[in-house]
Structure 1
Amino acid sequence: MSDHEPPSGLPNQLGHRIQGNQLSGNARAHFGDIYNISREDPLSLLPFATKAPFNSYDRQHEPICLPDTRVDLLEEIYNWADGKDGQDERCIFWLNGLAGTGKSTISRTVACRYNKQKRLGASFLFSKGGGDVSHAGKLFTSLAVQLAFNVPCLRQNICEAARKRSDIASLSLSEQWRQLVLSPLSNIQSKSYQSYIFIIDALDECENDKDVGLILQLLAEARLLTTIRLRVFLTSRPEIAIRYNMHHTIPTEHQDFILHDIPPKLINHDISLFLEHNLRVIRQELTLGADWPGEVILRRLVLYACGLFIWASTACRFIRDGKQLARKRLDKLLKRSSSVITGPEKHLNEIYLAVLQHSIPSEFSDEEKEEVCDELKYRLGSLVVLLSPLSTSALSRLLQLSREDVDSTFNNLHAILDITDDPTRELRLHHPSFRDFLLNKDRCGNFWVDEKQAHHMLAASCISLMSQTLKKDVCELHAPGYKATQVESSRLQKCLPPDVQYACLYWVQHLQRSSSQAYDSEEAHRFLQAHLLHWLEALGWMGKTSEGIQAILSLEAYVLIDESPNLHAFIHDAKRFALYNRTIIEQSPLQLYCSALILAPEKSIIRREFKDCIPSWIRINSKLLEYWNAALQTLEGHTDWVLSVAFSPDGKQVMSGSEDRTVRLWDAATGAALQTLKGHTDSV
C-alpha cells in the first residue's frame, strides 16, 4: 500500500534528529531540544509530540494507498478539501469505519498529497498506549508548531501568542486552540485566499471521551475563518462519544463517510490489487515461480479478507516472514480460513490465532506448549497494556527478563508486531485491532490476556524495578545543591533509563487499573516505606514532580482507610510532605534529604521513617512543629505581597493577585503554576 518516495516536508527533513532521542519522561527533552530551536525561541515553550506528524521518523515506513485503489473515495475527499463541491463549506470530513478497514492508510495518503502541495497545515495521529499521542495534552501545541514551519507567514503570529502567554501549554484545550491556532490563522496577512488542511487520525484512540467531544467542537470553529479556508480531515472508529458529538453537537459542520459501507465489489477490487502487489514482491524476493500463488488462490484470499485491509496486510507479513516456508504458511492460512462468508471479525480472529499458534513449535509436548503459551501471554499482555511505548530492551528490563528471552518470544510475531533490529526502538503493534483481539476472551481462546491481571503484573514489575534501582543521589552528583536544570540529558538517561522512568511515572496507574487493593505491609507499602524519597528525587530530576504529586493524590483516594489504615496514613503524610516541599523537589531534588526532611514536623511519619537519611553534620537548634499545620503548601512565584486570592467555581484552580502587578493561576491540587498574567500597571 505504499509508494516508496519519502514524503517531503519539515518532519521528514528533521527525521534523523528524532532518531535515537530518548524522550521517555524527560520533560526537558521536548521539541526545542530535538529540532535545535534555541531556548529563546518562543516555539520552545510549546510541548511537541514527536510521533504525531504523519511523516515522523517512527512512521516513515507506514504505507499509503497503492495507485488505482480507493479512487472514488480519495476523489471525494480531494474535492471537499479543494472546495470543488460548490457551496459545500462543511469544514470537517469524518471518515469512520470498523477496525482494519484502512482509515489510517487513507489519512496518510491525504496527508502526503497536501504535504507535497505545501497545503498541509499539520497532522496528529493518535495511538492508544502511545504516550504523548494517546491523549490530547499536546494536540494543539503540536499542531501550532507544525503550522509555524509549514506555513511560514504564520510563524510570527504563533510565536507572538506563545511569547505573550508563556504558560500556554498549561491552559485549557480551548485556550490553546484559540490562541495558538485559530487566532494566528484569523490574522494571516496574504494577498491571495489560501486553503490548508489538518489531518487528525484515530481520534477514537484519544484517552478521554470528554476531550474528544471538546476537540470536535473546537475544530468546528474553523468555519469562523474568513481570510483563509481550513479543512479538517478526521478518522476514527464509529465510537459512541464521537458519533454523538458529530450528529448532535456539530451536525452542520461536518461531512461523514462510512468506510465499511462501501460496496463490497469496490472494496474487493482494492484488496485484490493490494494482495497482488504484495504477493508479487514476496514471489520476487523468494523466487517462488511466476505462477505463484495463482488467480484462484488470490480470489480466495480476497474473499477471506472480508473487506479488511488489516487481514490482507497481516496475511502478507505472515507469509513473507516464513521465507523458504512461505508456501506452507499460505497453505496454512487457506486451511484455517472459513470458506463460508461470515463477519469480518471472525476472519480477523482466525488470522491472529494462526500467527500466535505458529509461534509455538509444533514438535513441543503439550506441557511445553502450555508453558510457552503462558510466557507469550505474559509478554504480549504486558506490551498491549503499556501506558507509553517501550523498546525491546526497556521492556525486558521492566519485566526482569533477558533480552534474548523477549526476542525469542516476539521473533515469530513480525506479522503483528513492528519489530526492528534496533533494540532501542519502541515496540509497536502493526494495528490496534490486535490489542482488542487479545483482551477479548470470546475472540482469542487460550491466548486471552486478562487486562486487570496484566496491569497487576506490570504494577508489581514497576515496584520491583524501582526498589532495585532507585537510591539516594541516583544521578551520582555528590552535591546537595545541584539544580535539576544542571543535569545533562545523557547522565539522566544513564542513571534513570527509559524503563525506570516508565516505572516511576506509571506504577500507580497500573495498580489502579488492576483493581487489586493495596494493603498494609504489602508490596506497595513496603516500597513507599523504603523508597518514597528516592522516588520523589527521581521525579524531580525527570521534571515530573506534578505527575508524582498527582499519583500520591490518586493513591490516597484509592487505598481504603478501613482496610489499610497504616498505608493510608503513610500516603496522607507523604502527600503533605510532597506538597509542602514541591519547590524543593522541582528545583534541587537532593535537598529532600536535607532541608525538606529536617524541617518536617517531629511527628511526621515520613520524618520518622527516613530520619537516618538526615546528614549527620546538620544540627537543629530551633524547635520544630509537632504536626503538620493547616498550610498544605506554599505557592511560590510572586515577587511582592499577595493582595487577593480566589478559587475557581469547581475548586480545582486558585488565582492570586499581587503588588508585583501580576495575576497567577495555580493548580489547587498539585500547586503547579499554570499561568502568569502580565500587563497591569498597578498592584492587583
Structure 2
Amino acid sequence: MRFHDRMLVNRLKPVFSARYGAHGSPGDCLEHTRLALLNDLREYLTANDGRRIVWLYGLAGTGKSTVARSICSGLKDTHDVVSFFIKRDIFDHSNQKRILHTLVYQLAQCIPQVFSAVIHAKDDLFEAHVHDQVEDLVRTPLSAVLPGARPVVIILDAVDERGGTKNECDIIPCFLDAIAAAQVPVRVFVTSRGQPSDFLRPTYDSEAVHATQGLPLSLVQYVLIHHKSYDPEGDIRAYLAAEFKRVALKRTVSDWPPSPDQIDILVRMSARLFIFAATIIRWVDCSAPVFALGQLLEQSSALMERTGPETIFALYEYVICHALDEDTPRQLLRSALGKDPNDRTEADALCREATLSILSTVRCLRERLTRNVFAHLWAGHIIAEPTIRAGAVAIAEHLISRLSGVLFVWNPDSSVMLLHASFGDFLDARSSPYHISSETTHFELASKCVSIMLSTKDAYDQFHSTSFVDPLLNRRLDAIPWIGPDSDLAARYSFAHWIPHASRALPTQLPRLLEQVRLAERGFWSAGVFLHPADINVDSLKQAHNAMRTHREGVEAAYTLATVVYMCADEASDFKDASRRRGLNSFDTVLDALSILAPLSGKLARDTETSSHPEPQVLLGLIA
C-alpha cells in the first residue's frame, strides 16, 4: 500500500468489502439481458442536460443491485467509479459514517482537493456530525475543483437499507445536496425500493443538526426498473434459459434444459422478480436438478396464488421446507447429540431448530464470516464438549450447503450471507412460518461469544504473566495477542461484538447472560471493545441497568459488564446526547457498579463532587 493511501486508510477506515468488485460479491447482469435499461441509464449518467442524479427504484428482488454492478463495470474505463453497496444486516455496511468515509476515501483517490481536505482535517472532524463532515470533506473541496477533470460516477446502492439517523442529518439528501451544488463532472447513481421523493423531501426535525431543504427535482432522473417497456419478463426468460444450460453442463444432466413451456411457467411465477428466478436456479443447482424442478413445477399453481412480496415469500418457504426434507442433517444431529436414531419426530424437530438457528444467526451477524468460521461461532454454546462441538460444526456446514437456495456462499472461503434483502424481510415477517426473534438471536449470539471468550482464558492467563500489552492503548483488534493473528477467527469476532449483541437482547434475558460473566483481569473483557464504537440499544441498556440494580445476585458480573458497556458507549460520539434525552446516565451506571464493588475491593468508588468522566483505565483499575 502506498504511503498516501495508508494515510487515507488510517484517517477514514473505509469499508473495502462494500465497494464494487469486493471479494466474494455477486456478479453483473447476464450478458445480453437488461440491455435497454442499461443503455438508458448510461445515457442519463453521461448526458449534459443538468441532471446530476439518476435514481433507479422498484420492488425488492427486481435486480437493482445487479444493475448497479453492471453500471460500475460499464463506466469504469471512462470514469472514476466510486461505490458503496449498503447492506442493512451488516453494521459496517449500513452505518452512516462508514458509508460517508468510504465514499470520501474513494473520492480522495481521484480528486486531489478531497485528498488534501482529508489529510489536513483535524482528528475530531471524523467523529463530528455527518453534516459537518460532508461540508468539510465533500462540498468545500469539490467547489475548488477546476473544469476539465476526469468525470466521476458515484454508485449508492440500496439507500433504504442505511442505518438509523437519530440526532443526525440523513446522509442521503445531505450528501446528494453537496454533490449537486458542485460545479464538477460528478454524477450519482442511486437505487432504492421506495420512491425517490421519500428520500429527497425537506426535513424539519428539531433534533437534527441540519434540516435539508430538499433537492430540486429537476436535478434527478427517475427510472422504474420493472416498467414494462424494459421487458423484465423477456430478460428473466433469457436468464433462466442460460442458467439451466449452465446447470445441465455442470451437473452432466441428460434430457435438459427444460422446455420453453416449462420456462414460461417459471417466468409467470416470477412476477417480474429476478430474485425469484435466481432462487429457483440456486435451489435446482444444489439439489437433484430434474427432480427438484419437477417438484417445483407441480407446485406452480399454489405458488402463483400469492401476489406482491408474498410471491417470493412463498418460494422461500418452499425452499426451506424441502431443504429440511432429507436424512443427512437428521443423522448428523442424532449422532452429535446422542439421540435415538429411530425417533423421526425428534430428529425433525432438532433439524428445524438447527436450521432456524443458522438462518437467524446469519441474519443478525455484525460482520461477514466464512462458512467455517461461522460454523464454529454457531457451535460456540457447546464449546466445552469437543466431540459434540465437532458434530455441530459439521451440521452447520451441511445445512449451509443445503440452504444455498437462500444463502449466498460463493465458495468455502467466501462469506456466508443472506442471498437477498427480501429473504431478511421474510424472516422478519411475523406471518412467516420461519419467523425469527432478533432479540432472542442476539442474546444467543452474545452467550456464544462469552462462551468462546472464556475458552481463551487459560491462554490469556499465560500470556498476561509474561508480556501483556494493554489493549486499551491500541484500538486495533490484533491487540488481543493471546488469540493470535490468524487463529480462531470466531474468538476474534466474539471479543469484538459480544457487547453490541448483548445490548440488543431483551432486558429480561440480559441477567441470564451476565451470570456467565465473571469478574476478570484488566483488559480481558474490554479487549475488543474499541474495534467497533458501540451502536448501543439505549432502551435495552436502561432496562437492563434497572434490572441489575434490583438483583443483588451476580452483581459483580453485572456491573463488570455495565462498566465495559459504558467504556464502549463513551467512544460513540452521539451516545451521551442520546442517553441524556432518554433518561439514561451511563456514568451513574458505572458509579453504582463501583459503589457496590467498593466493599469487595476496599476502595472508595463514588465521589459525589465528580462531574467529568474518568478515564477507562481508572475505572478498570478500580474493579481489577
Q: How does 1:586-605 map to 2 (within 5 A)?
A: 604-605=595-596
Match of 2:420 in 1: 431
| 5+ long unaligned stretches in structure 1 | 1-34, 584-599, 612-623, 637-684
2-side partners of 1:382 and 1:250: how far apart? 39
Seen in structure 2, the aligned counterparts of structure 1 residues 537 and 222 have a Cα distance that, compared at 3 Å, is closer
Deviations for 1:624-650, whole angstroms, at most 9, x for unmatched residues?
A: 6463343255678xxxxxxxxxxxxxx
2-side partners of 1:573 and 1:491: how far apart? 22
Match of 1:566 in 2: 552
Is the 8 Å Cα contact of residues 43 and 162 (structure 1) preserved in structure 2? no
SS in 2 for 1:514: coil
2-side partners of 1:491 and 1:536: how far apart? 14
Q: Report whether the alignment pairs 1:116 with 2:73.
A: no
Q: Report whether the alignment pairs 1:203 with 2:159.
A: yes
Seen in structure 2, the aligned counterparts of structure 1 residues 509 and 98 have a Cα distance that, compared at 3 Å, is same
Seen in structure 2, the aligned counterparts of structure 1 residues 44 and 263 have a Cα distance that, compared at 3 Å, is same
Match of 1:628 in 2: 607
Match of 2:244 in 1: 279
The one of 496, 517, 525 equivalent to 2:514 is 525
2-side partners of 1:475 and 1:124: how far apart? 43
2-side partners of 1:574 and 1:315: how far apart? 46
Match of 2:193 in 1: 237
Q: Report whether the alignment pairs 1:144 with 2:107.
A: no
State how many pairs are aligned: 552
Q: CA deviation at 1:602?
A: 13
Match of 1:221 in 2: 178
The one of 287, 290, 295 equivalent to 1:332 is 295
Seen in structure 2, the aligned counterparts of structure 1 residues 288 and 426 have a Cα distance that, compared at 3 Å, is closer
SS in 1 for 2:33: coil
Q: CA deviation at 1:293?
A: 1.0
Answer with 163-172 or 300-309: which moved more: 163-172
Is the 8 Å Cα contact of residues 102 and 310 (structure 1) preserved in structure 2? yes
SS in 2 for 1:137: helix
1-side partners of 2:479 and 2:267: how far apart? 50
For 1:135, give the aligned amino acid.
Answer: N
The one of 452, 456, 468 equivalent to 1:465 is 452
Answer with 207-216 or 104-113: which moved more: 207-216
Q: CA deviation at 1:382?
A: 1.7
TM-score (norm 2): 0.77
Is the 8 Å Cα contact of residues 37 and 230 (structure 2) preserved in structure 1? no
1-side partners of 2:71 and 2:594: how far apart? 63
2-side partners of 1:515 and 1:163: how far apart? 44
SS in 2 for 1:288: coil
The one of 515, 535, 543 equivalent to 2:506 is 515
Seen in structure 2, the aligned counterparts of structure 1 residues 567 and 135 have a Cα distance that, compared at 3 Å, is farther
The one of 130, 133, 149 equivalent to 2:90 is 130
1-side partners of 2:169 and 2:63: how far apart? 21
For 2:235, give the aligned amino acid.
Answer: D
Seen in structure 2, the aligned counterparts of structure 1 residues 531 and 383 have a Cα distance that, compared at 3 Å, is farther
1-side partners of 2:498 and 2:45: how far apart? 44
Is the 8 Å Cα contact of residues 576 and 632 (structure 1) preserved in structure 2? no
Q: Percent identity?
A: 20
Seen in structure 2, the aligned counterparts of structure 1 residues 609 and 406 have a Cα distance that, compared at 3 Å, is farther
Deviations for 1:14-47, whole angstroms, at most 9, x for unmatched residues?
A: xxxxxxxxxxxxxxxxxxxxx4547973553111
SS in 2 for 1:466: helix
The one of 95, 98, 120 equivalent to 2:56 is 95
Seen in structure 2, the aligned counterparts of structure 1 residues 53 and 361 have a Cα distance that, compared at 3 Å, is same
1-side partners of 2:512 and 2:35: how far apart? 57
Q: CA deviation at 1:347?
A: 3.0
Q: CA deviation at 1:124?
A: 0.5
Deviations for 1:91-136, whole angstroms, at most 9, x for unmatched residues?
A: 222212111110100111111112122332x101111222311211
Match of 1:25 in 2: none
For 2:398, give the aligned amino acid.
Answer: S
Is the 8 Å Cα contact of residues 505 and 547 (structure 1) preserved in structure 2? no
Seen in structure 2, the aligned counterparts of structure 1 residues 580 and 304 have a Cα distance that, compared at 3 Å, is closer
Seen in structure 2, the aligned counterparts of structure 1 residues 481 and 164 have a Cα distance that, compared at 3 Å, is same
Q: CA deviation at 1:256?
A: 2.3
Match of 2:207 in 1: none
The one of 380, 383, 392 equivalent to 2:371 is 392
The one of 249, 255, 278 equivalent to 1:313 is 278
Seen in structure 2, the aligned counterparts of structure 1 residues 475 and 206 have a Cα distance that, compared at 3 Å, is farther
Is the 8 Å Cα contact of residues 48 and 141 (structure 1) preserved in structure 2? yes
For 1:461, give the aligned amino acid.
Answer: K
2-side partners of 1:405 and 1:460: how far apart? 20
2-side partners of 1:453 and 1:490: how far apart? 28
Q: CA deviation at 1:208?
A: 0.9
Is the 8 Å Cα contact of residues 443 and 513 (structure 2) preserved in structure 1? no
For 1:302, give the aligned amino acid.
Answer: V
Q: Report whether the alignment pairs 1:353 with 2:310.
A: no
Q: CA deviation at 1:370?
A: 2.5
For 2:133, give the aligned amino acid.
Answer: Q
SS in 1 for 2:83: strand
Is the 8 Å Cα contact of residues 124 and 199 (structure 1) preserved in structure 2? yes
Is the 8 Å Cα contact of residues 409 and 417 (structure 2) preserved in structure 1? yes
2-side partners of 1:581 and 1:429: how far apart? 29
Match of 2:385 in 1: none
2-side partners of 1:257 and 1:303: how far apart? 23
Deviations for 1:592-636, whole angstroms, at most 9, x for unmatched residues?
A: xxxxxxxx999743455568xxxxxxxxxxxx6463343255678
Seen in structure 2, the aligned counterparts of structure 1 residues 473 and 306 have a Cα distance that, compared at 3 Å, is same
Q: How does 1:4-43 map to 2 (within 5 A)?
A: 35=1, 37=3, 41-43=7-9
2-side partners of 1:238 and 1:500: how far apart? 39
Match of 2:257 in 1: 292
SS in 2 for 1:478: helix
Q: CA deviation at 1:428?
A: 1.2
Deviations for 1:294-321, whole angstroms, at most 9, x for unmatched residues?
A: 1111111111111110010111111122
Is the 8 Å Cα contact of residues 92 and 220 (structure 1) preserved in structure 2? no
The one of 452, 469, 473 equivalent to 1:482 is 469
Seen in structure 2, the aligned counterparts of structure 1 residues 476 and 343 have a Cα distance that, compared at 3 Å, is same
The one of 76, 80, 86 equivalent to 2:40 is 76
Seen in structure 2, the aligned counterparts of structure 1 residues 270 and 158 have a Cα distance that, compared at 3 Å, is same
Is the 8 Å Cα contact of residues 518 and 559 (structure 1) preserved in structure 2? no
Seen in structure 2, the aligned counterparts of structure 1 residues 551 and 436 have a Cα distance that, compared at 3 Å, is closer
Q: CA deviation at 1:388?
A: 2.5
1-side partners of 2:538 and 2:597: how far apart? 14
Is the 8 Å Cα contact of residues 573 and 604 (structure 1) preserved in structure 2? no
2-side partners of 1:204 and 1:475: how far apart? 48
2-side partners of 1:498 and 1:212: how far apart? 35
1-side partners of 2:284 and 2:538: how far apart? 48
Q: Report whether the alignment pairs 1:555 with 2:516.
A: no
1-side partners of 2:594 and 2:118: how far apart? 48
The one of 366, 369, 377 equivalent to 2:356 is 377
Is the 8 Å Cα contact of residues 604 and 627 (structure 1) preserved in structure 2? yes
Seen in structure 2, the aligned counterparts of structure 1 residues 574 and 376 have a Cα distance that, compared at 3 Å, is closer
Is the 8 Å Cα contact of residues 95 and 236 (structure 1) preserved in structure 2? yes
Deviations for 1:216-259, whole angstroms, at most 9, x for unmatched residues?
A: 23312222112x122111111218xx743324533524332232
For 1:371, give the aligned amino acid.
Answer: L
2-side partners of 1:38 and 1:193: how far apart? 21
Match of 2:68 in 1: 107
Deviations for 1:405-436, whole angstroms, at most 9, x for unmatched residues?
A: 2112212112222225535x421122121121
SS in 2 for 1:69: coil
